[in-house]
Amino acid sequence: MKIIDGRQISDAKRAQIKELTAKIKSETGKTPGLATILVGEDPASKVYIGSKIKACENAAIKSFHFALAANASKDEILSLIKSLNSNAEADGILLQLPLPDNSFAQECINAISPLKDVDGLHPFNAGLLNLSKNWDELIEKNALLSCTPAGIIHLLKASSIAIEGKTAVVIGRSNLVGKPISMMLLANNATVIMAHSKTKNLKELSKSADILIAAAGKPRFINKEYIKNGAAVIDVGINRVGGKLCGDVDFDDVKDMDISITPVPGGVGPMTITMLLENTLKAFKNRDRSA
């Protein structure tokens, strides 16, 4: 087994981001800024936001945090987003999900300016991903890509794991991970199979994968019967079982296999925040270029 060290790869990428931030400030006199919005007191969300604010600080990116009460109305959230859309210092806007009332979450995401949508969840940016011909075109457009999937692509490339011509199986079809990572793998010329809870013969399909993306949200669901030797396994799952974090892959069951794998924690997680920082720099450059 070869471990794909997300922390090490993330640290290297963040060092580059910090250098780019300093260069931007030196050349423009401006500092890229990220505005974060937290609605309510969800403990996990508070930890995530805290990690993002700290990461901004370490990368010399300006951060602005806005905390709203759990009973904040849709209109209050939309009003804050509208004000941040016109705030010249906030290059990116991140609305921490889920909301206490998640029924209007997409409406709030839609209200964020596509140019400031550093989560890559606005229909404009999701559409840009789906309509682009290939990865080079997405890079050329400086597209704001969904952070976790973009982090996965970076992990694969930084680990010298070939994507082009490979069979990739994605287990999970969420808007946050499953769908966008499928399109990003396709943009990198993989042959992509999307699997989900209604997929038949899942073990056989999974075992055909050169690259397996486990994003089912089921703790230790994927064991060695789903994986072939030589595969790269990206475990996106974050599950708490018995007070400990574990992924969607049964790590102990597959540890003797000849595979490359991301651990949980320490795999995909660190890259998600790193790509958020990169998107903030992209948003700064895109807004500056469009002015």
Catalytic residues: 52, 96, 119
DSSP string, 260-289: EE--SSSSHHHHHHHHHHHHHHHHHHHHHH
Q: Residues for the chain: how many in total? A: 291
Q: Which residue has the tokens 């013969």?
A: 201
Q: Which residue has the tokens 């602005």?
A: 64
Rounded CA-CA distance 174/231 in Å is 23
DSSP string, 169-207: EEE---TTTHHHHHHHHHHTT-EEEEE-TT-SSHHHHHH
Element (H, E) at 129: helix 123-131
Strands across the sheet containing 260-261 = 2-3, 260-261, 232-235, 211-214, 167-171, 191-195
The Cα-based distances of 284 to 30, 68, 153 in angstroms read 10, 25, 22
Strands across the sheet containing 33-39 = 62-68, 33-39, 92-95
Burial class (CB in 10 A: 0-12, 13-18, 19+), 213: buried
